[in-house]
């Protein structure tokens, strides 16, 4: 079955960069790509259901036309530079907020993964992950989200860092896309534990053994870091090794709960310049 990949776009360079990354990441796989542009209409609020523009109204039709023309140009760019017989493109233009447009598209087309660009800022407050991306990573739990920083150019991932505290058990389906990317690109999985206690308790040890059984057959290794906060520890490990991707499970309760809340997002975003794959707890 073809892989179904959702590519949100606002027609920015960041979005185009993420699209190119996704096309290269899955260049050898049969894929259905959904190019999504969620447009809005000046003078109308998405939060006010009493003020919804009607199709046929001048402002609505103008915004819709701009969105559709933007998608047509994007399709031309992709066809010119990334023509791949294994890939099929589907443009989607919709009046909605980005978050709910993504959720609706995932549900309608049974999307496997979302790949989206991230926007950085300049100066001391520099962050890799913009507000929209953080919201999607936190609130879209139906499928994994792969966030691509704006300055990252594709190279086949050879080392993926998987941070964990071993406090929650693992399910193979939660790790499906990490394992898939690792297998497809012969990437090494580096399991990283930011150590607070010198030894694992019985639950943690049991969960580590479960993880080992899931990773059996994949190249992987285990690493510990101590005396560091989680975001800075991940960043230090990644930078010291030149890793290609970070992948983690966004558990409802655990060490990474709210990891993308504003202070942590700024801290890890300032240091991390590689793609981040956010997976979610199996329901």
Domain boundaries, the chain: 3-149, 159-280
CB 42 within 8 A of CB 59: yes
- Tabulate helix, strand, coil % of the chain (nearest 5): 35, 25, 40
Answer whether 39's CB lies under 8 Å from 137's CB.
no
Fold of 159-280: Rossmann fold (3.40.50)
Residue 128 carries which DSSP code?
Answer: S
CB 249 within 8 A of CB 281: yes
What percent of the chain clears pLDDT 70, i.e. is strictly above it? 81
Which CATH superfamily is 3-149 part of? HUPs (3.40.50.620)
Taking residues 166-178, report their average pLDDT: 91
What is the band of 8 on the pLDDT scale with cuts at 50, 70, 90?
very high
pLDDT tens profile 78-118: 998 888 999 999 999 998 889 999 999 999 999 999 999 88
Closest CA to 4 of 36, 30, 41, 43: 30
Ranges of H-type helices in the chain: 13-25, 58-81, 98-109, 131-139, 176-184, 202-215, 230-241, 262-271
User: What's the mean pLDDT when you consider all of the chain?
Assistant: 84
pTM for the full model?
Answer: 0.88
Q: What is the pLDDT of residue 283?
A: 63
């Amino acid at each position: 079955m073809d892989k179904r990949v959702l590519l949100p776009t606002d027609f920015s360079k960041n979005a185009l960069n993420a699209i190119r990354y996704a096309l290269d990441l899955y260049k050898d796989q049969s894929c259905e790509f959904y190019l999504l542009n969620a447009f809005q209409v000046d003078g109308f609020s998405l939060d006010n259901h009493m003020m919804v523009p009607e199709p046929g109204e001048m402002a609505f039709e103008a915004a819709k036309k701009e969105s559709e023309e933007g998608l047509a140009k994007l399709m031309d760019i992709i066809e010119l530079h990334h023509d791949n017989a294994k890939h099929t493109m589907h443009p989607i233009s919709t009046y909605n907020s980005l978050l709910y447009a993504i959720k609706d598209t995932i549900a309608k087309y049974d999307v496997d993964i979302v790949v989206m660009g991230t926007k950085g800022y300049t100066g001391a407050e520099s962050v890799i992950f913009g507000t929209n991306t953080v919201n999607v990573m936190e609130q879209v739990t139906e499928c994994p989200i792969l966030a691509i920083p704006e300055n990252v150019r594709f190279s086949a991932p050879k080392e993926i860092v998987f941070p964990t505290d071993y406090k929650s058990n693992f399910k193979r389906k939660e790790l499906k896309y990490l394992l898939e990317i690792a297998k497809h690109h012969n990437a090494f999985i580096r399991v990283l534990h930011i150590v607070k206690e010198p030894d694992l308790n019985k639950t943690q040890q049991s969960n580590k053994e479960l993880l080992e059984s899931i990773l059996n057959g994949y190249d992987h290794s285990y690493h510990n870091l101590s005396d560091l906060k989680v975001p800075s520890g991940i960043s230090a490990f990644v930078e010291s090794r030149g890793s290609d991707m970070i992948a983690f499970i966004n558990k409802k309760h655990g060490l990474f709960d709210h990891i993308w809340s504003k202070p942590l997002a700024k801290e890890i975003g300032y240091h991390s310049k590689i793609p981040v794959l956010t997976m979610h707890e199996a329901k």
